[in-house]
Structure 1
Amino acid sequence: MQKKWWKESVVYQIYPRSFMDSNGDGIGDLNGITNKLDYLADLGIDVIWLSPVYQSPNDDNGYDISDYRAIMTEFGTMEDFDRMLGRAHELGIKIMMDLVVNHTSDEHEWFVESRKSVDNPYRDYYFWRKGKPDGSEPNNWGSCFSGSAWKYDEQTDMYFLHLFSTKQPDLNWDNPKVRDSVFDMMDWWCQKGIDGFRMDVISLISKQPGLPDGVPGENGFADSGSANGPHVHEYLKEMNRRVLSKYDLITVGEAAGVTVDEAKKYANADDSELNMVFQFEHVGGGENQHPHFGKWDEKKMPLPEWKANLTKWQTQLDGRAWNSLYLSNHDQPRCVSKFGNDSDKYRALSAKMLGTCLHMLQGTPYVYQGEELGMCNAYFDKIEDYRDIESLNAYRDLTENSGVSHEQMMQYLKDVSRDNARTPMQWDASGNAGFTTGTPWIKVNKNYKEVNAEKQVNDPDSVFSYYKQLIRLRHENEIIVYGDYELLEPDSDEVYIYTRHLGNEHLMIMCNFTDHDVDASEDTFERIPADAEKLIGNYKDDAKKTLRPYEAKVYKY
């Protein structure tokens, strides 16, 4: 298998608004990140994925960009960015920017021009369509943030397409001038010295020709069918040819709706498109569920199905493409709350177990800020505490139009709202968890006095120290990066056990996903030689065949 630095790296995602506030305005900023780079160097990560820091009116927390070549005023200045980039590079840390080019903000100069008249030079940068004869929307597509994917604009008596917020009009990638503008902007950032791009909803950039109606769902709206559209690979190959191939970058595409076969195209071994993709199957509910309200009432996937899903991606991409490994990000609930157990008794143990399970797989691991501390869901009690546009729109839509009670909707939000991942980073036990001296833009998780970085960095038994060890092991053991994968005990709904093999080296990874003791099977246990080295584990001693509650251990032999 071809060796690459980005295969051997561990990426840390920073959500800047919630990471560290340096000036007391309650909002995280670039200088706050710079101030905490030594913490990340101590953790051992190689790359920072920086969620958007560009100028934005913040309708969707920075994913609605009004100027790709300017920094959001709340986050600082371009000089602050350059200082952060320089300091990160001094510490051997690379910076991966979040590239959001399926859509812009409606306040971007391209769209401001586009809406002025039907013959404006920028008109075809976006999708403008006349309504149907009765004046209704051009088609029945729904927005990912509730409601129609079309917004009427009086100025030219036409609708524009927005697959997300009404303030996020979709760019028309079929227009070569759009591609020229995007590639020119990307090249500008590369020349500045950044080290890669995480590409937001990149699988949606190629729309279906003619924008036809889709099959309506329960809410009357249809999926746009834009995922993995007809020209997406053609456009990414052009991007690679014109920009990416000229620099030594790490690239990952967020690819909703991607299949294994599609992933082999996006992240193919010949490097003609991207290095890897984010797929979402393992953070969904699985194949046999039919939730009424999308992700809101989705149930957790049973462990055997979850293992089978991760195994499919491990084995079918092996040698053909590369996996990205994650359980948490800014769009997901906290992984220890979703996949582990966030009670006082088991939070740290299950956080370490989940880290072990993920970091021993083949692929590039992503750590979301606070994951290395075992941060949990926020469990806000009041709708007023939420800030996320998706959550607030869903609350209004489901309580007003779908008969969901306030109490039930609040439970849905506690379980899966994106704001669970967006509460401020918990640095210490002082006010507002040391995140800000002002009023934080969103409430701090109330458990910050027990769960914080200051308490963990010098504690050898902490989740932080355990993650530090996981990252070091990946850097020191090629088998963790490049070894083959084999699943054991596939039908167990209690344990996830798999092996890795490279040459004459072997690893056995054993993880208990329950709060009780479970014995590994005799066949599994007999594979471990008596002289096997225990590489890492979240219990100090070793009960050998028995896996205790949320126990994880890795043997090397």
Structure 2
Amino acid sequence: MPAETWWKNGIVYQIYPRSFQDSNGDGVGDLPGITSRLDYLVDLGIDAVWISPIYPSPMADFGYDVSDYCGVHPLFGTLADFDRLVAEVHRRGLKLILDFVPNHTSDQHPWFVESRSSRSNPKRDWYIWRDPRPDGSPPNNWVSNFGGSAWEFDEATGQYYYHAFLRQQPDLNWRNPELREAMYDVLRFWLDRGVDGFRVDVIWHLIKDAEFRDNPPNPAWHPERPEIESLLQVHSSDQEEVHEVIAEMRRVLDGYRDRVLIGEIYLPTERLVAYYGKDLSGAHLPFNFQLIQTAWNARAIAKLVDEYEAALPQGGWPNWVLGNHDQPRIAARVGAEQARVAAMLLLTLRGTPTMYYGDEIGIGRVEIPPDRVQDPWEKNEPGLGFNRDPERTPMQWDASRFAGFSTVEPWLPLAPGHERQNVAVLSADPGSILNLYRALIRLRRGTRALAIGDYQPIRTEGHVFGFLRSHGSERLAVFLNLSGEPIPVKLVSPCDGMRVKLSTFLDRVDERVGSNVALRPNEGLILG
């Protein structure tokens, strides 16, 4: 596909719909709320909106336990509200990406109700059922991602069903051809309504080992880490046959014009790139979470970028992610000063960047009182520090009591200091992180070198990470100081004699740097 394809040169913006904008005063965000804020997204400069699940659900895992793939939960609105959102997104020249959750359903989904009704039910094989071991214990040692056994015994039929996550989230059997076709029909339902693509949840989990062998122990595991890490997931995920399934999904999308398939994949780089598929027949964008998982220092980041670029298949398009609804916010991980450097990194690397709502206003760590905890993982494995609620708190729009998000107490607490850290206040501050994001996005959209250009590392040492982006005769150099100390950098051709295009401090514009540039503490510079 040409480099001008929207999902290559565009910017994706993830919205967690419970927390973006409440339109009806119930303390929870909804689809009309998202629609009411689209002009903000246009002003920000993003190109595509990805919304986390909005399907009918008992909300055991906040929508990732789907009870109807072809509807909208009343909490978020109606199908008519969704259609209106799609129309308004497209009217503004944006794209809409929908979360698709194919690995598991809710235990209240009609398919599972049928499946567990008897061993002979036609939908029995749509889920993963196994006999107990001779002693009555689970079929193997697989562990749930949320802690405890991944197997739940069903008294009525005398078998266990598999759930990679909560027991209320039974896994579907993607080896069953009828189940596959039913799920592809779900994709067509939303594609026919105008959806521009899908982010596919835990796509590397879809196929399990046919023999259900035990996972081997992880010798590096420590008890303070989640129980899921106690075993190496070599049989419960990332099976070779999953690529056939993804290729079939891709063919469904290829029956429509200009659609994108994005896969959620938490795997090392060498395994991640396999999800582009043979001859690029897999996911257009296997999500690259390396910036979330690596140590925040220049040498580690330079190494991972080089390794990722080298591992990409011929024609595979890169992508980068700094945060999402499952990971601590970037400002919580690296601090407010380095969050600005991180913004410049995300928006200048080669490939499609995905932003997470609220990062552009610098939301950091939000403490969740014990009586306000919502995350089922935290409830299952309390005290390990992996509560996902802090990255799901409401968007902060203005200095009103509930930050313009709602007229009542929101479902999760607001960040402290939201009266000062919100869209309205930061928009009026020329040097704010919000205006830095806007400036970075304008520069990216206005220069083909940043949008679709080549990447070339620049040799740097210590705390500075540098690289060159180029397209034809257009060249931009990026230097990022990942420390709190001032650092001088000696420039060599072709960087010497360039001028400052943008600083993370939003000053120095058009300053000529000659053969040397002085990076201030926590400063990133784009030269051109």
Match of 1:279 in 2: 288
Match of 2:144 in 1: 143
1:93-172 correspondence runs (5 A)? 93-172=94-173
The one-letter code sitting in structure 2 at the alignment partner of 1:236 is I
Match of 1:528 in 2: 495
State the alpha-carbon separation in 2 of the partners of residues 376 and 257 from structure 1.
26
Counterpart check, 1:247 vs 2:245:
no
What is the Cα deviation at residue 383 of structure 1?
A: 2.6
The one-letter code sitting in structure 2 at the alignment partner of 1:548 is R
Contact 1:20 1:33 in 2 (8 A): yes
Counterpart check, 1:432 vs 2:402:
yes
Match of 2:306 in 1: 311
Could you say what secondary structure the match of 1:351 adopts?
helix
Match of 1:322 in 2: 317
Gaps of 5+ in 2: 222-226
1:228-307 correspondence runs (5 A)? 228-260=238-270, 262-267=271-276, 270-284=279-293, 300=295, 302-307=297-302
Gaps of 5+ in 1: 286-299, 396-408
Contact 1:102 1:201 in 2 (8 A): yes
State the alpha-carbon separation in 1 of the partners of residues 311 and 215 from structure 2.
31
What is the Cα deviation at residue 6 of structure 1?
A: 1.1
Match of 2:414 in 1: 444
Could you say what secondary structure the match of 2:403 adopts?
helix
Cα 1:269–1:498, aligned 2, differ >3 Å: closer, same or farther?
A: farther
Could you say what secondary structure the match of 1:325 adopts?
strand
Bigger mean CA deviation after superposition, 81-90 or 454-463: 454-463
Match of 2:330 in 1: 335
What is the Cα deviation at residue 301 of structure 1?
A: 5.3
Counterpart check, 1:370 vs 2:370:
no
Contact 2:10 2:47 in 1 (8 A): yes
Match of 1:288 in 2: none
Match of 2:527 in 1: 555
- What RMSD in Å do the two structures reach over aligned CA positions? 2.0
Deviations 1:46-92 (A, max 9, x none): 10001001111111111111101110111111111111111111111
Match of 1:75 in 2: 76
Could you say what secondary structure the match of 1:236 adopts?
helix
The one-letter code sitting in structure 2 at the alignment partner of 1:2 is P
1:49-64 correspondence runs (5 A)? 49-64=50-65
Counterpart check, 1:384 vs 2:371:
yes
Deviations 1:163-207 (A, max 9, x none): 111111111000001110000110011011111000101111111
Contact 2:297 2:482 in 1 (8 A): no
Deviations 1:337-394 (A, max 9, x none): 213x23xxx3xxx3322111111111111110011111111133x3323211122222
Cα 1:269–1:529, aligned 2, differ >3 Å: closer, same or farther?
A: farther
Could you say what secondary structure the match of 1:215 adopts?
coil
Contact 2:288 2:321 in 1 (8 A): no
Contact 2:204 2:264 in 1 (8 A): yes
State the alpha-carbon separation in 2 of the partners of residues 193 and 204 from structure 1.
27
Match of 1:293 in 2: none
Match of 1:195 in 2: 196
State the alpha-carbon separation in 2 of the partners of residues 247 and 204 from structure 1.
28
Counterpart check, 1:538 vs 2:504:
yes
What is the Cα deviation at residue 489 of structure 1?
A: 4.0
Counterpart check, 1:499 vs 2:468:
yes
Contact 2:289 2:320 in 1 (8 A): no
Counterpart check, 1:2 vs 2:2:
yes
Deviations 1:268-299 (A, max 9, x none): 595422211113333225xxxxxxxxxxxxxx
Contact 1:203 1:226 in 2 (8 A): no
TM-score when normalising by structure 1:
0.88
What is the Cα deviation at residue 109 of structure 1?
A: 0.7
State the alpha-carbon separation in 1 of the partners of residues 313 and 49 from structure 2.
25
TM-score when normalising by structure 2:
0.92
The alignment-based identity, stated in percent, is 39
The one-letter code sitting in structure 1 at the alignment partner of 2:287 is F
State the alpha-carbon separation in 2 of the partners of residues 230 and 85 from structure 1.
35
Match of 2:423 among 450, 453, 478: 453
Cα 1:226–1:2, aligned 2, differ >3 Å: closer, same or farther?
A: farther
Contact 2:292 2:321 in 1 (8 A): no
State the alpha-carbon separation in 2 of the partners of residues 430 and 366 from structure 1.
29
Cα 1:271–1:318, aligned 2, differ >3 Å: closer, same or farther?
A: closer
Contact 2:215 2:236 in 1 (8 A): no
Contact 1:275 1:322 in 2 (8 A): yes
Match of 2:446 in 1: 476
Contact 2:213 2:235 in 1 (8 A): no
Match of 1:289 in 2: none
Cα 1:270–1:5, aligned 2, differ >3 Å: closer, same or farther?
A: farther
The one-letter code sitting in structure 1 at the alignment partner of 2:501 is L
How many residue pairs match? The answer is 512
Could you say what secondary structure the match of 1:434 adopts?
coil
Could you say what secondary structure the match of 1:71 adopts?
coil
Contact 2:212 2:235 in 1 (8 A): no
What is the Cα deviation at residue 235 of structure 1?
A: 1.1
Contact 1:141 1:149 in 2 (8 A): yes
State the alpha-carbon separation in 2 of the partners of residues 311 and 421 from structure 1.
29
What is the Cα deviation at residue 102 of structure 1?
A: 0.8
State the alpha-carbon separation in 1 of the partners of residues 232 and 243 from structure 2.
24
Contact 2:253 2:261 in 1 (8 A): no
What is the Cα deviation at residue 222 of structure 1?
A: 5.6
Could you say what secondary structure the match of 1:182 adopts?
helix
